[in-house]
Amino acid sequence: MAYDEDDSGNNKRYAIIGVSSMLLVAMVVAVTVGVNLNNDEAGGPTSGTKSNEISASVKAIKSICQTTDYKKDCVDSLKSNANNSADPHELVKAGFKAAMKLLQAAAKQSVTLQQLEQDPRASQALAGCKELMDFAIDELKFSMSRFGDFDTTHLDEMLIDLKIWLSATITYQETCLDSFENTTGDASEKMKKALKTSMRLSSNGLAMVTEISSMLTDLKVPGIGRRRLLDAPVVVGHEDYPEWADPGIRRLLAAKGNVKANFVVAVDGSGDFKSIQSAIDKVPKRKNNETFVIHIKEGVYKEYVTIKKSITHLMLIGDGPKKTIISGHKNFFDGITTFKTATVAVTAEHFRARDIGFVNTAGPHKHQAVALRVQADKAIFFNCEMHGYQDTLYVHTMRQFYRDCIVSGTIDFIFGDAAVVFQNCIFLIRKPLSNQQNIVTAHGRKERRQPSALIIQNCTFKADTDLAPVKNVFRSFLGRPWKEYSRTIIMESYIDDVIHPDGWLPWSGDWGLKTCFYTEFRNYGPGSDTSKRVKWRGVKVLTPAHAVDFTASRFLLGDRWIKATGVPYAPGLTMRRHSEV
């Protein structure tokens, strides 16, 4: 709705007052997960005489819960922890305390089940569930810190952050359940039952935050809305640097040649460390978000690297993706859950990598084998390569940006539930086993409100050298819906004739075909003809105005954290055509 200039200040104040209360209560719903998970350990709701008088707290809770899909769970969870308080701060305090206790109980329960479990694969899945719940707890703690000081200046960013983090919480729980694939025993059913309510409440929290964002857009509150996402200058940190950057990071990301590094890793012993993990383990705590740079010299590093969430603002620089290579071979066939097969796993925010190769050498006969798993918010990979076969690149959660990278594989070799943009990348489709077919992407968006998508812009799809001579023998597809609301956008890209005319492949029967969101916009090349594509309800046709919504500037707010790094970056549509590939 429109408003006069004289009323804009009042409108903003009223909206902020309202949204602060709604936002804080929404946080309660989002974090009060698993209320029925373990009442013996976490403590269930206390019984007592019901009051005939409906408190202000109950009225507020019922009103807010109307926006959710699971209203009863929403109301019950808040009523049991609100203590009849109408103070949003008290509600948040009670909600966070309950959430932390319940998630810790869930993690403890997974450990208990693991000790009793006889199936090694199920036992490993339970261990993974504990790790995933720990990730969820970390996200909730970070959210509490971020929203403790309610910053109206960057309210849109705060709401977007919250949706990203809540989406990750949903994905972590779903990943826990996914890890029980091909296990025996009843551990899977026990965890599914344990997570039922927590997943509903996470969904409810995301629903309410989405409603708040829509409400503010409708109110036309300054700082909220699509135009702001495109037009606003970078007003964070100092000058044009984002909040994570220290002076010189732009130069480091753009550098071609020797760089000034804090640590040097060299497999031949000529650096400070011989292994990458040993260097990462020695990264000191820093103040003011100072970026720590590790130079990894040329060589093949046969090791498994984990960058923990506590090691933020880390940058790895190699000597080139074909010279500096991190190589592993863990795989699902040998009894390891997909989540744990990664050669390199990154969970720390503001991670940067350039000129590095990430490889899983397990081969196609070993099935799922991840080269790189990323769940780091605002992560950037520049001039890197990821090579494997099935499940090469696991874009698990959060916001990610890939520029000038090469990714190779066979089945679902780019998969996950991140909000991710690939620009100027090459996707090499490799030769699979004789009974297999190739699928480039498998997006894992479970909830319709999750702000995640695989966005591929100005990239190239083509057969690798081993597939090219026999590309007509094996069918290859752009993607398939791993989860019900899978969302993949391919635009302004070159698609070679390796791609089957159908374009998209079902996962199983009609699963997700009506609810997915798949689209191709202004692509070109012999495989880009959409006239013979599948006719699912979930395959969409984009207008130029809608396509802009999926550009890096708008979808990722990339002007605020990508642009200032110096990495080549297209904020909007490029309208570019390749004359040759």
Q: Taking each helix axis from N to C terminus, what angle separates 187-219 and 120-148, rounded to the nearest 10 degrees? A: 20
Each residue of 550-578: pLDDT tens digit?
A: 999 999 999 999 998 889 999 999 875 44
Query: Which residue is catalytic, options 391, 412, 464, 559?
Result: 412
Q: DSSP H helical segments within 402-549, as ranges?
A: 544-548
- Percentage with pLDDT > 70 across the chain: 76
**What's residue 246's pLDDT?**
45
Which range has the worst mean pLDDT, 32-36, 82-86, 91-95?
Answer: 32-36
Cα gap 159→557, rounded to integer Å: 12
Each residue of 455-514: pLDDT tens digit?
A: 999 999 999 999 999 999 999 999 999 999 999 999 999 999 999 999 999 999 999 999
Q: What is the mean pLDDT of residues 385-399?
A: 98
Q: What is the mean pLDDT of residues 520-526?
A: 97
Partnered with residue 327 across adjacent β-strands are 302, 359
Cα gap 455→512, rounded to integer Å: 19
* The pair of three-digit structure tokens given for residue 421, joined into one six-digit string: 């943009």
- Check if the beta carbon of residue 76 is closer than 8 Å to that of residue 35: yes
The pLDDT of residue 6 is above 50: no
The pLDDT of residue 335 is above 80: yes
Architecture of domain 57-219 in this structure: Up-down Bundle (1.20)
**Sign of the alpha-carbon dihedral angle for 156, 232, 237, 456:** positive
DSSP 351-370: -EEES-EEEE-S-GGG-B--
Cα gap 172→140, rounded to integer Å: 13
Which range has the worst mean pLDDT, 65-79, 160-174, 496-510?
Answer: 65-79
134 flagged as catalytic: no
The pLDDT of residue 531 is above 70: yes
Report the chain's mean pLDDT, rounded to a whole number.
Answer: 82
The pLDDT of residue 254 is above 60: no
Q: What is the mean pLDDT of residues 301-313?
A: 95
The predicted model scores a pTM of: 0.87
SS3 content of the chain, % helix, strand, coil (to 5): 35, 20, 45
The distance of Cα 153 from the centroid of its chain, to the nearest Å, equals 25
User: Which pairs with CB-CB distance under 8 Å and at least 24 residues apart come from 77-81?
Assistant: 77/29, 77/32, 77/35, 77/197, 77/201, 78/25, 78/28, 78/29, 78/32, 80/35, 80/45, 81/28, 81/32
318 phi and psi, to 5 degrees? -100, -170
- Check if the beta carbon of residue 206 is closer than 8 Å to that of residue 161: no
243 phi and psi, to 5 degrees? -65, -25
The distance of Cα 373 from the centroid of its chain, to the nearest Å, equals 10
Each residue of 22-70: pLDDT tens digit?
A: 554 444 444 433 333 343 344 444 444 445 334 677 777 777 778 889 8
Looking at residue 273, what DSSP letter applies?
Answer: B
Q: Please check whether the two domains, 57-219 and 247-565, share a CATH topology.
A: no
CB neighbour list of residue 492: distance below 8 Å, 6 or more residues apart: 457, 458, 521, 522, 523, 573, 574, 575, 576
Q: Which CATH superfamily is domain 247-565 in?
A: Single-stranded right-handed beta-helix, Pectin lyase-like (2.160.20.10)
What are the extents of the domains in the chain?
57-219, 247-565
Indicate the pLDDT class of residue 253, thresholds 50, 70 and 90: low
Looking at residue 239, what DSSP letter applies?
Answer: T
**What's residue 255's pLDDT?**
58
The b-or-e profile of 448-471 (16+ CB within 10 A means b, else e) is: ebbbbbbbbbbbbbbbbeebeeeb
The pLDDT of residue 182 is above 70: yes
Using CA atoms, how far residue 137 sits from 46, 179, 199, 347, in Å, is: 24, 19, 14, 14
Indicate the pLDDT class of residue 87, thresholds 50, 70 and 90: low
65 phi and psi, to 5 degrees? -70, -10
**What's residue 312's pLDDT?**
93
Return the number of other C-beta atoms located less than 10 Å from residue 537's C-beta: 10
Indicate the pLDDT class of residue 251, thresholds 50, 70 and 90: low
Helix (H, G, I), strand (E, B) or coil at 305: strand
